[in-house]
């Protein structure tokens, strides 16, 4: 079995490598807010209105999100990472996030999402009825339910009636929904610029700008946050991945790929050339360029050990390339007998990923982490008997002939130790220019 073989390879490899105005209810007790990181509000929205009006004089951001909407969560994470995490000691700004029951969401789903957008000036609410979305439909004069909506309010705005005031500026992620222009699809960098412009209109002398020591610094990028339930089907991630690689037809035109670079361990470094061609022919060429490590006795590694390390690396790499096939596992995977399940999302560094479980036909089980913006597979974890046996971390993605490739790949053992790092310098593709109808890829 491939997984058993890989574990053996890894084991041997590791051996070889040996803010102020009147108090705001939501801000009055930051410690209490930590114990109750969100507030359940009634359908009259009175608590939210009171908090909104108590912050008159500040710029207020109001977001309508869904705790099981992966695209919404991605928007939260983007805004946090772009500027909100850095603005938690800016007493001119306060943010309100209202979670609504879209895509099957329940109150229990809110708690997992909070680390994606967290801080003493960010306040989360659960609104069970979802009436706030209808109120915003009326405010914005659109004929659809409003959510996945991101609004900026200036310091003079007040919410005195049933309907919320019209925002100074807004963006959305409602795709093709009529009434909201597509040019206002959420862009975190642009939204940050608009917020900064609004902050310039605030009378800063009203506020102390006192640092809030309760800030949860770990919320800066929420690395490792797991979202266990999302409403999107698995096809969202799979199709995104294929589009990110230039589309089905583009992939099928590729007849061969030759990559050159190097592969490094603590023990040795090799020049590496990998030639792949259809259907799945692989040739690897390794040339030793450094073997300066020493063994336990402090002596230069022997030629026999170097040769063994080379064979182990070659076996590991060949097995992995064979496992992931020429077009990749996500291309035509139903016909290959592979099974894919959407598990949720996970924040890996500054990337919010779709988390998929893959049961490979005739091979091991994997967790696959797909960048929710680009479709890049940034991490893969292979399991053996329920435990992680190998992690593959991919980064530095670049396009060649419209297809994105990782130019840096780290192979990590179960404990996270780096076994080997593969760095690509160049990729050359042989592409046939024959016409292929781009498939309506269904998963």
- Which of 4-8, 239-243, 305-309, 344-348 is predicted with the least confidence, judged by mean pLDDT? 4-8
Overall residue count recorded for the chain in this entry: 443
- Closest-CA residue to 121 (of 192, 43, 219): 219
- pLDDT tops 70 at residue 282: yes
375 and 270 belong to one structural domain: yes
201 and 72 belong to one structural domain: yes
290 and 385 belong to one structural domain: yes
287 and 167 belong to one structural domain: no
55 and 175 belong to one structural domain: yes
Identify the band that residue 376 occupies on the pLDDT scale cut at 50, 70 and 90: very high
Structural domain count of the chain = 2
- pLDDT tops 90 at residue 219: no
**Mean pLDDT on 218-244:** 88
The residue from 211, 227, 255 where one domain ends is: 211
Residues 6+ apart with CB under 8 A from 56: 155, 156, 157, 158
CA torsion sign, 383 to 387 to 392 to 394? positive
The CATH number linked to 368 is 2.50.20
309 and 369 belong to one structural domain: yes
- Helix residue spans in 278-378 (DSSP H): 303-324, 333-336
- Which of 131-135, 394-398, 432-436 is predicted with the least confidence, judged by mean pLDDT? 432-436
- Report cis status (omega within 30 of 0) of the bond before 279: yes
Residue 442 within a domain: no
Task: Give pTM, 2 decimals.
Answer: 0.85
270 and 358 belong to one structural domain: yes
Q: Could you give the C-alpha distances from 242 to 209, 251, 342, 350, 363, in angstroms and in order?
A: 47, 9, 16, 22, 22
337 and 427 belong to one structural domain: yes
Residue 115 within a domain: yes
Alpha carbons 289 and 425: distance in angstroms, whole number? 15
424 and 284 belong to one structural domain: yes
Interval 322-373: pLDDT, tens: 777 888 888 888 888 889 999 999 999 999 999 999 998 888 899 999 999 9
**Partners of 340 in the beta sheet?**
358
The residue from 211, 244, 265 where one domain ends is: 211
Residues 6+ apart with CB under 8 A from 381: 366, 367, 388, 390, 391, 392
Q: Could you give the C-alpha distances from 126 to 152, 171, 203, 307, 412, in angstroms and in order?
A: 20, 21, 31, 61, 40
Interval 68-80: pLDDT, tens: 999 999 999 999 9
- pLDDT tops 70 at residue 305: no
Q: Could you give the C-alpha distances from 394 to 118, 342, 369, 371, 398, in angstroms and in order?
A: 28, 20, 10, 11, 11
pLDDT of residue 437: 57
Interval 95-133: pLDDT, tens: 999 999 999 999 999 999 999 999 999 999 999 999 999
**Which residue bears the tokens 């099974």?**
339
The CATH number linked to 47 is 3.40.30.10
207 and 70 belong to one structural domain: yes
Residue 308 within a domain: yes
The residue from 211, 246, 267 where one domain ends is: 211
Residue 216 within a domain: no
Residue, of 178 and 22, whose pLDDT is higher: 178
Residue 127 within a domain: yes
Q: Could you tell me the residue range of the domain that residue 278 belongs to? A: 2-16+236-431
| DSSP class of 342 | E
- Closest-CA residue to 373 (of 340, 393, 348, 341): 348
**Which residue bears the tokens 């091991």?**
364
pLDDT of residue 425: 97
């Amino acid at each position: 079995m491939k997984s058993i073989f890989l574990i053996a390879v890894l084991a041997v490899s590791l051996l070889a490598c040996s803010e102020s105005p009147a108090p705001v209810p939501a801000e009055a007790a930051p410690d209490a807010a930590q114990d109750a990181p969100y507030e359940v509000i009634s359908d009259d929205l009175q608590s939210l209105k009171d908090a909104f009006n108590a912050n008159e004089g500040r710029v207020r951001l109001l977001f309508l999100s869904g705790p099981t909407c992966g695209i919404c969560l991605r928007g939260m994470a983007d805004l946090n990472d772009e500027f909100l995490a850095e603005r938690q000691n800016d007493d001119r700004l306060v943010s309100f996030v209202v979670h609504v029951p879209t895509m099957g969401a329940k109150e229990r789903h809110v708690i997992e999402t909070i680390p994606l957008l967290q801080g003493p000036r960010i306040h989360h609410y659960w609104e069970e009825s979802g009436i706030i979305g209808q109120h915003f439909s009326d405010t914005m004069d659109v004929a659809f339910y409003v959510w996945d909506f991101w609004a900026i309010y200036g310091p003079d705005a007040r919410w005195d009636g049933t309907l919320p005031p019209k925002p100074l500026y807004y963006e959305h992620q409602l795709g093709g929904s009529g009434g909201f222009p597509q040019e206002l699809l959420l862009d975190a960098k642009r939204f940050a610029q608009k917020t900064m412009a609004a902050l310039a209109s605030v009378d800063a002398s009203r506020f102390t700008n006192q640092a809030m020591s309760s800030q949860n610094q770990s919320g800066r990028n929420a690395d490792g946050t797991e979202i266990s339930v999302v409403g999107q089907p698995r096809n969202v991630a799979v199709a995104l991945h294929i589009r990110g690689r230039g589309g089905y037809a583009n992939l099928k035109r590729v007849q061969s790929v030759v990559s050159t670079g190097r592969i490094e361990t603590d023990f040795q470094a090799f020049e590496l050339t990998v030639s792949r061609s259809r259907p799945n022919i692989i040739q690897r060429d390794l040339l030793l360029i450094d073997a300066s490590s020493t063994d336990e006795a402090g002596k230069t590694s022997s030629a026999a050990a170097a040769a063994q390390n080379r064979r182990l690396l070659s076996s590991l790499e060949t097995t992995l390339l064979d496992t992931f096939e020429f077009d990749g596992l996500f291309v035509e995977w139903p016909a290959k007998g592979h099974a894919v399940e959407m598990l949720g999302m996970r924040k890996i560094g500054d990337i919010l990923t779709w988390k998929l479980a893959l049961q490979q036909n005739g091979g091991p089980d994997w967790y696959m982490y797909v960048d929710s913006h680009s479709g890049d597979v940034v991490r893969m974890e292979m399991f053996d008997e329920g435990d992680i046996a190998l992690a593959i971390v991919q980064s530095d993605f670049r396009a060649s002939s419209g297809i994105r490739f990782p130019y840096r790949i780290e192979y990590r053992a179960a404990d996270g130790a780096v076994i080997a790092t593969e760095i690509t310098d160049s990729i050359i593709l042989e592409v046939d220019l024959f016409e292929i109808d781009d498939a309506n890829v269904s998963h």
